[in-house]
């Protein structure tokens, strides 16, 4: 057990377990995510990473165990309530509307927390205020030059940046990123990795990521899963030298 204060950990799972008709996909996973860090979940294909993510964000109900967020038990809390409390999964709420502009996508995301929803007849002062904040968020993710472009016209990497901007519109304390670099070329990977690093300055990031170079460069702590269980945990330098991790990835180094 760590001697750190419980307040140091924004997210914690205790004995998290998920069975599907007798198959145990996640088994007794106890995870502690330290506040204001980047924490990565890695492991070979079938290790249970996405299932853990789905359990934490309540897209799946656990068969056993508990999830605590800021010291509160959220095991039975709905995904929407968890998002309102400040833990938001990118691409969970932030689906991009392809035939709206980049600015309009972020403005719609900004309307959700304040209950404005799709009331396009709101006073112009409110829409202008939303526009100003939307432009700030686009600048944060390097998309200010594309504000008037249709989302469908964006290259893949910039579309992922837009998805992150719409997630940021909900002002999350914890951002959960599920394979943020999937399908990207080197240039996009470098851009989005730099963005995640910058955004982590005042919030916590928990991510599932297959690209081990990204994990090595970004993560403060890495949890390695294998067959639904935690194999080991620590900084990249230590886990990369662990013979059990090398064996888990043998012949599957990009998983």
Give per-residue pLDDT as tens, 57-100. Answer: 888 999 999 999 999 999 999 988 898 899 998 864 446 788 99
Same-domain status, 84 and 99: no
Q: CA 51 → CA 19, 20, 24, 87, 133, distances in Å?
A: 10, 11, 11, 17, 34
Count of structural domains, the chain: 2
Same-domain status, 222 and 107: no
pTM of the model: 0.85
Same-domain status, 104 and 116: yes
Same-domain status, 246 and 121: no
* Rounded CA separation 198/141 (Å): 9
Local confidence pLDDT in tens for the 255 residues of the chain: 344 555 799 999 999 999 998 899 999 999 999 999 999 999 988 899 999 999 998 889 999 999 999 999 999 999 888 988 999 988 644 467 889 999 999 998 888 754 444 555 556 677 778 899 999 999 988 899 999 999 999 988 888 889 889 888 888 999 999 888 887 788 888 888 888 898 888 899 999 988 888 999 999 999 999 999 999 999 999 998 888 888 887 544 443
* Rounded CA separation 97/201 (Å): 28
Same-domain status, 204 and 82: yes
Same-domain status, 160 and 186: no
Q: CA 224 → CA 36, 143, 177, 255, distances in Å?
A: 20, 34, 16, 12
CA angle 76, 82, 87 (to 5 degrees): 135
Report whether 104 contacts 97 (CB < 8 A): yes
Same-domain status, 75 and 1: yes
* Rounded CA separation 105/37 (Å): 28
Domain that holds residue 104: 94-169
Compute the CA torsion angle 42, 43, 44, 46 (nearest 10 deg): -100
Same-domain status, 193 and 139: no
Same-domain status, 189 and 151: no
Report whether 170 contacts 95 (CB < 8 A): no
DSSP letter at 151 equals G
Q: What count of other Cβ atoms lies within 10 Å of the Cβ of residue 217?
A: 14
**What tokens were used for 255?**
């998983």
Q: CA 95 → CA 64, 98, 153, 159, 232, distances in Å?
A: 30, 9, 15, 10, 34
């Amino acid at each position: 057990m760590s001697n750190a204060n419980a307040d140091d950990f924004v997210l914690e799972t205790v004995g998290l377990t998920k069975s599907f008709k007798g198959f145990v996909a996640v088994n007794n996973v106890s995870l502690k995510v330290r506040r204001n860090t980047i924490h990565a979940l890695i492991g070979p294909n079938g290790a249970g990473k996405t299932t853990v993510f789905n359990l934490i964000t309540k897209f799946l109900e656990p068969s056993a165990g508990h999830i605590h967020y800021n010291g509160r038990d959220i095991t039975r809390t709905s995904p929407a309530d968890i998002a309102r409390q400040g833990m938001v999964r990118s691409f969970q709420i932030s689906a991009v509307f392809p035939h709206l502009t980049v600015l309009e996508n972020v403005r719609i995301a900004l309307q959700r927390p304040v209950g404005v929803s799709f009331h396009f007849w709101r006073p112009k002062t409110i829409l202008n205020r939303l526009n100003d904040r939307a432009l700030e968020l686009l600048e944060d993710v390097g998309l200010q030059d594309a504000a008037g472009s249709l989302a469908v016209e964006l290259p893949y990497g910039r579309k992922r940046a837009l998805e992150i901007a719409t997630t940021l519109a909900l002002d999350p304390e914890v951002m959960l990123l599920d394979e943020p670099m999937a399908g990207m070329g080197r240039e996009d990977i470098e851009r989005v990795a730099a963005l995640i690093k910058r955004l982590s300055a005042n919030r916590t990031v928990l991510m599932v990521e297959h690209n081990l170079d990204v994990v090595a460069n970004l993560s403060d702590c890495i949890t390695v899963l294998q067959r639904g269980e935690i194999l080991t945990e620590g900084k990249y330098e230590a886990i990369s030298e662990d013979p059990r991790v090398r064996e888990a990835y043998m012949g599957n180094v990009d998983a």
